[in-house]
Amino acid sequence: MLSNLATRDVETLIHPYTNLAAFRQTGPLVLERGHGVWVYDTDGRPYLEGMAGLWCTALGYSNEELVEAAREQMSRLPFTHLFSGRSHDPAIELAETLKELAPIPVSKVFFTSSGSEANDTQVKLTWYLNNALGRPQKKKIIGRHKGYHGVTVASASLTGLTANHADWDLPLPGFLHAACPHHYRGAEAGETEEAYSARLATELEEMILREGPETVAAFIAEPVMGAGGAIVPPKGYFAAIEPVLARYDVRFIADEVICGFGRLGTWFGSEALGMKPHSLSFAKALTSAYMPLGGVTVDETLYQAMQDQSRKIGTFGHGTTYSGHPVASAVALKTIEIYRRDKIIEGAAEKAPHFQRRLSALEEHPLVGEAKGMGLIGGLEIVADKATKRQYDPKAGVAARCVAFAQEEGLIVRFLTGDRVAVCPPLVIRPDEIDTLFDRLGTALDRTQAWIREQGLTAA
């Protein structure tokens, strides 16, 4: 029986990434407050937020400094915009700070309100650049199968997940998808991670040559794949990929929306994986998700092309009302100040080995085929047969059931495509809370195994 609040929710809201038909029966988990890594429902029951919301609340919940930063900015200048040359201190200072922190040369910063908007902007800027350079055919952009880059029409086309394409008439023409770099699923028998990476680079080069290098403009990749399964690339992957991109003058865009600002124990995931992209997309942990804010870095070559187009057209015809919103910018500045002052990113790096040990230990569970991660992010894959890696019928919803059991145990994690379960807690999680997280996830796996026996499920 749904509560009054739950009934009101079902009758009024559309929930993203939710089975809307089944949801009418199950109803929502209504959260009321949060503190640290814990959130509480309307009955006061606590849950360890093992997904940092949606990979984003790096500083946890109810950080009073961030609340005060928003209040102070709201009292002074709650809104202005960046259109037609207007500006304000928080956006200027934040852009300066991001240029300083970025692991690549940055000329300018363009702000958005989300990661989806950031990657949509990357698409438009890539097309804009090649038009400015007199290369109107060089427009195709390569994402990867299981890559996730957003849900706008363009960013969803970059995304390589079936649910983001099916019956949406996507991807748009000109968006290609290379292989997912998942060694556990994609490697041939006996193939090392390095050999697998080399093969993927060869396959990427073959794709570029098949399409025509004069038509391929950019390649986009997350350092560690998020919504596609929390998948860590195989050893040597980006080192093998980047020379291919350079050989055919293909821009390399790093989607840092999840990995940026400490998730892998470095300011940006590109640093942790030795990546040298031309541009970064960022969002989420920039404000610890307390305010919507995202953006992209603009290199000097791109900036000069943008200037040239402005001279020709008379304006730079792109932007949104909330680009560089002063309250969001002020919260981002305070967030970065806390990251620096309290050594949050260094702390994440120090806690990562313990986190990864507890994650890896789950591979001993009879249901778990792979449990792997990097920094404070990880994914595990539930299989029916560990030796053959065979999976359960997707319609059985085994990973979804595991996540439901975890919630009953007071832990929030997320199920993803391919019967994978993702874990991505706030960076401020304590070592004892890491143990609590994995203890509860282990219990959820045990309950899932018992449920599978009760249901008589077999491999697909």
CA gap 282, 293 in Å, rounded: 9
Do residues 152 and 177 both lie within one domain? yes
Do residues 294 and 371 both lie within one domain? no
Do residues 257 and 405 both lie within one domain? no
3-state secondary structure of 260: coil
Q: Which residues of 86-104 are buried (b: 16+ CB within 10 A; e: fewer)?
A: eebebbeebbebbeebbbb
pLDDT at 191 > cutoff 60: yes
What per-residue confidence (pLDDT) applies to 210? 98
| Average pLDDT taken over every residue of the chain | 97
pLDDT band at 78 (very low <50, low <70, confident <90, very high): very high
The answer as to whether 360 is a domain residue is: yes
The answer as to whether 347 is a domain residue is: yes
pLDDT band at 189 (very low <50, low <70, confident <90, very high): very high
pTM of the model: 0.97
What residue type is 317 in one-letter code? Answer: G
CA gap 61, 216 in Å, rounded: 43
Q: Check whether the bond before 171 is cis (ω within 30° of 0).
A: yes
The answer as to whether 248 is a domain residue is: yes
CA gap 97, 109 in Å, rounded: 10
pLDDT tens per residue across span 206-238: 999 999 999 999 999 999 999 999 999 999 999
What per-residue confidence (pLDDT) applies to 460? 66
Do residues 319 and 395 both lie within one domain? no
Do residues 331 and 376 both lie within one domain? no
pLDDT band at 3 (very low <50, low <70, confident <90, very high): confident
Strand bridging mode 216-221 / 31-35: unpaired
Cα maximum dimension of the chain: 69
**Domain-terminating residue out of 322, 341, 360:** 341
Weakest mean pLDDT among 22-26, 36-40, 78-82, 363-367:
22-26
DSSP conformation letters of 298-347: E-HHHHHHHHHHHHHHSS-----TTTT-HHHHHHHHHHHHHHHHTTHHHH
Percent of the chain with pLDDT over 70: 99
Q: 150 Cβ partners below 8 Å, 6+ apart?
A: 114, 115, 116, 117, 118, 119, 120, 156, 158, 159
What per-residue confidence (pLDDT) applies to 305? 96
Domain range enclosing 386 = 4-62+343-455
Do residues 47 and 109 both lie within one domain? no
By C-alpha distance, which of 337, 293, 297, 322 is closest to 95?
Answer: 297
The answer as to whether 460 is a domain residue is: no
The answer as to whether 36 is a domain residue is: yes
Do residues 294 and 435 both lie within one domain? no
| Whole-number CA gyration radius for the chain | 22
Q: How many domains does the chain fold into?
A: 2
Do residues 40 and 156 both lie within one domain? no
Give the CATH number, domain containing residue 23: 3.90.1150.10
Do residues 315 and 348 both lie within one domain? no
What per-residue confidence (pLDDT) applies to 135? 98
The answer as to whether 18 is a domain residue is: yes
What per-residue confidence (pLDDT) applies to 311? 95
3-state secondary structure of 170: coil
The DSSP H or E segment spanning 432 is helix 431-455
**Domain-terminating residue out of 341, 373, 402:** 341
What per-residue confidence (pLDDT) applies to 1? 57
By C-alpha distance, which of 359, 352, 349 is closest to 380?
Answer: 359
pLDDT tens per residue across span 240-270: 999 999 999 999 999 999 999 999 999 999 9
Helix residue spans in 342-413 (DSSP H): 344-361, 398-408
What per-residue confidence (pLDDT) applies to 459? 72
The answer as to whether 384 is a domain residue is: yes
What per-residue confidence (pLDDT) applies to 185? 97
pLDDT tens per residue across span 374-402: 999 999 999 999 999 999 999 999 999 99
**Domain-terminating residue out of 294, 326, 341:** 341
Strand bridging mode 294-298 / 368-374: unpaired
3-state secondary structure of 440: helix
Edge-first strand order for the sheet with 216-221 is 108-112, 294-298, 279-282, 251-255, 216-221, 140-144, 175-178
Q: 346 Cβ partners below 8 Å, 6+ apart?
A: 265
pLDDT at 310 > cutoff 70: yes
pLDDT tens per residue across span 114-125: 999 999 999 999
Convert 1-50 into a string of H (helix), E (strand) and C (coil).
CCCHHHHHHHHHCCCCCCCHHHHHHHCCCCEEEEEECEEEECCCCEEEEC
Give the CATH number, domain containing residue 124: 3.40.640.10
What per-residue confidence (pLDDT) applies to 458? 78
CA gap 121, 149 in Å, rounded: 11
Q: What angle do CA 81, 84, 90 make, to 5 degrees?
A: 35
The answer as to whether 300 is a domain residue is: yes
Do residues 214 and 331 both lie within one domain? yes
Do residues 224 and 125 both lie within one domain? yes
CA gap 145, 245 in Å, rounded: 18
Do residues 294 and 385 both lie within one domain? no
